[in-house]
Structure 1
Amino acid sequence: MTTARPQIAQDIEGHPGHYNNQAVLKVIQEKIMEDKDRRPFYIVHLDDIVNKHKRWVELMPRVKPFYAVKCNNTEPVVKTIAALGAGFDCASNAEFQQVLHHGVGTDRIIYAHPCKDPQDIKRASEEGVDLMTFDNEYELVKIKSLFPGTRLVLRICPQVNKGEYDYGEMYGCAADQCKELLEKAKEMTLAVVGVSFHIGGVCFDSMAYQNTIRLCREIFDEAKAIGYNFSLLDIGGGFPGYAVKGKPTFADVAKDINTALDEYFPKEENVVVIAEPGTYYVQSAFTLALRVIGKRVQRSGPSAKDSEQSYVYYLSDGIHGSFFFTMPSLVERLNVEFYVLKEKDKMPVYQCTLWGPTLNPPDRLAQNIQLPELDIGDWLYVPNMGAYTTVLATSFNGIARPELFYLASDEIEAELGV
């Protein structure tokens, strides 16, 4: 269940020293002072993205990150990551066109969609985006007819038990079917260069990467017997975007991956290892500010004297905006926390329910959470809102999407030109 705290948070969980919470709160206050009735907005701390990249390089030097554009495709984010020298995981023509526009070479792009639109395959051929995934024979037939010169990566089902968003049913070749599929690719004279997998959107199975990397080793060996000499391993995404108490951290995951790579793909083999982080790069860089636009009181008893009072608040953003990922129909759930912007820590708290601004009955953001009594016009903020938020926002009911304001140190602006 979504939780909330009535006081201003002292720290936003992320990588220690990489996120200046007070700077973000200061900018939020400044924007509200400019227009207290403004629509919801994000403060985007680009320094956080830069520091995440540095952290990745420090902890997993063998693994080159290919940022998953689908996670957050806002232009300053893509431009920043491109300037850092990372690669990109693209799932459509529109995504690799956006990346190419920022001067990224095709050698820094993987078209990592196992089921591609034929028109997009044609565009990839025209642009020279020649590294792409597949997981079934029908995809091979499609690629053979449209882009036979591509370099292919076999996507397999991961060995995962606790993924909160498991791609296994949707994409990935089962382990016992890989040999047959590779033999088919060989018959079709298609160049398969490696193996990929994706653990899932949120995964807290600390052994999942190790177990799946071991399986990849077996498939590499099978492929060699067929006549392939694989040179690429893509370990996908699923990396945490900020620290969650009691759950594996990014450092924990990196340690597990490094151990598995050293055991199953030693450096002397010269296998290129890449990954497809999305949430990791952007989740903690975005903080959403939104305000209370409506309020009502609920009482549990027949009279005010005998009842326990609770509050219902209507907020200026909801599931059709930044909070689509909180819908119960989505398995991938993020740990959303609402913070009151102004000091109310000495006030009593009440049971509260938070609704979005639309007329859609499922537009409920939280229930049974503790908050002080709020007034219409009060502001809340929500940290860690950079992943799968802006890309999923709509204008349902004619409600505008949140604005974005970017925050970067002078050093980062000068270094990256963002």
Structure 2
Amino acid sequence: MTTIQTHCTENLRGNYNRKAIQQLIKDKISEGANRRPFYIANLDDIVNKHKRWVELMPRVKPFYAVKCNNTEPVVKTIAALGAGFDCCNISDIEQILKLGVETDRIIYGHPVKDPDDIKSASEFGINLMVFDNEHELVKIKSINPTTNLVLRILPFERGSGDVLDKKYGCLADQCEDLLMKAKKMDLNVVGVSFQIGRSGFDVDSHLDTIIFCRRVFDLAKTIGFNFNFLDIGGGFPGYSTEGNPTFAEGAKKINETLDEYFPAEENAKVIAEPGTYYVQSAFTYVLRVIGKRVSDHVYDYYLNDGVHGAFSKTITYDKKVPDFRLLEDKPLVPFRKSNVWGSTLNPDDRLGQNIQMPELDIGDWLYVPNMGAYTTVLATSFCGTPSSNIIWMASDSTTS
């Protein structure tokens, strides 16, 4: 049975000062102007993440996955740091170009694109696009036959050869046929990409798939291509968790594998598509108890957000109970068997079932750390739920 924490223990949850965040939360609540949920966001955390990436994986240029969190201050900060961008549609591309980002810092990373978006991207000068099937090649050939293309392959899981994602990616035994077709169509394929897309940090799958990419590079050479581009995708953790490799540990192994199979003298450009890594620990979410019911010794609590708001990914994809923290400790309050519900009329809007929590009161505030990834972008207006405000921390109050 899951137990809610009554205070924020010190652990590896991003480079922010928890006391400063707690105090800022209290200050905002004391203003009393808005009792809706809100985020506390720390751009310094993103800056520090970028510096750590450059330090630990200098060969791998980060192309931030815009789909993860496209709030303007986040994207502006990452652009100013010199990172590239992984865009999945024309809206992403337009947002990035408006910031003055050069087109060579953008990859159109969606394997199956709207023809109109291909046309618009080409007119903007985007010259790097991903594909994983023959029909996509035909589509690109008819719209922009001179663009540089990247073959997306399915990644592999160590020991079984099982693919991790069946929606996008070319199977291993299809690579040769697809590259042959691209050659016959006189299209310019320049490299390979893959996307792990799992919760946690699946370092072994990264390593095995990088090794397989070497085989694809060598295969392409026999067909007449000169590959010089490798995209190792995302799947990098936003904070360290027990039982999973740290970013530093994974980066060391990835560096070693790249050096062995893609030595620097080959001059292959290596990128990655981190999203969660950059933003997850930079955002803390704050919400409160708006209702309470007790029946048969089970305590039901109703919060002012749920699965249709900030917790969509946590509940539907990660299938985890949010990491609720009490803003004010209740050390003498007994723990109760509890259910936690969101605010909508959807009976499946449930955030926790049969978890142990200290008894709460209507009006109590909770906060949840590590809420920067796939939260703001997935929130809906179902049942009239308004969007949550974001409060940006002063840069000198959070660096630890």
- So what's the TM-score if we normalise by structure 2? 0.95
Percent identical among aligned pairs is 62
Match of 2:348 in 1: 362
Q: Which of 235, 241, 250 is the matching residue for 2:232?
A: 235
Aligned counterparts of 2:275 and 2:320: Cα–Cα separation in 1? 14
Q: Which of 261, 268, 275 is the matching residue for 2:258?
A: 261
Match of 2:357 in 1: 371
SS in 2 for 1:318: coil
- 8 Å contact from structure 2 (residues 20, 397) kept in 1: no
Distance 1:334 1:256, change over 3 A: farther
Match of 1:107 in 2: 104
- Listed as ranges, the gaps of 5+ residues in structure 1 are 300-308, 414-418
For residues 285-296 of structure 1, the aligned pairs below 5 Å read 285-296=282-293
Aligned counterparts of 2:274 and 2:69: Cα–Cα separation in 1? 11
For residues 310-389 of structure 1, the aligned pairs below 5 Å read 310-328=298-316, 330=317, 332-333=318-319, 336-389=322-375
Write the letter of the residue equivalent to 2:335.
Answer: V
Displacement of 1:298 in angstroms is 2.2
- Listed as ranges, the gaps of 5+ residues in structure 2 are none
Aligned pair count reads: 397
- 8 Å contact from structure 1 (residues 12, 19) kept in 2: no
Cα distance per residue 1:342-389 (max 9 Å; x no partner): 120232111111100000011000112221111111100000011100
SS in 2 for 1:79: helix
Displacement of 1:252 in angstroms is 1.6
Match of 1:305 in 2: none
Write the letter of the residue equivalent to 2:9.
Answer: Q
Aligned counterparts of 2:295 and 2:252: Cα–Cα separation in 1? 50
Displacement of 1:99 in angstroms is 0.6
Match of 1:281 in 2: 278
Write the letter of the residue equivalent to 2:258.
Answer: L
Match of 1:249 in 2: 246
Q: Which of 179, 182, 199 is the matching residue for 2:176?
A: 179
Write the letter of the residue equivalent to 1:343.
Answer: D
Match of 2:45 in 1: 48
Match of 1:8 in 2: 7
Write the letter of the residue equivalent to 1:229.
Answer: N
Displacement of 1:37 in angstroms is 5.4
1:116 aligns with 2:113: yes
- 8 Å contact from structure 1 (residues 12, 21) kept in 2: no
Distance 1:3 1:255, change over 3 A: farther
Match of 1:189 in 2: 186
Tell me how large the CA RMSD over aligned residues is. Answer: 1.9
Write the letter of the residue equivalent to 1:73.
Answer: N
Displacement of 1:13 in angstroms is 3.1
SS in 2 for 1:357: coil
1:157 aligns with 2:123: no
Write the letter of the residue equivalent to 1:403.
Answer: N
Aligned counterparts of 2:321 and 2:91: Cα–Cα separation in 1? 30
Displacement of 1:327 in angstroms is 3.4
Aligned counterparts of 1:325 and 1:161: Cα–Cα separation in 2? 26
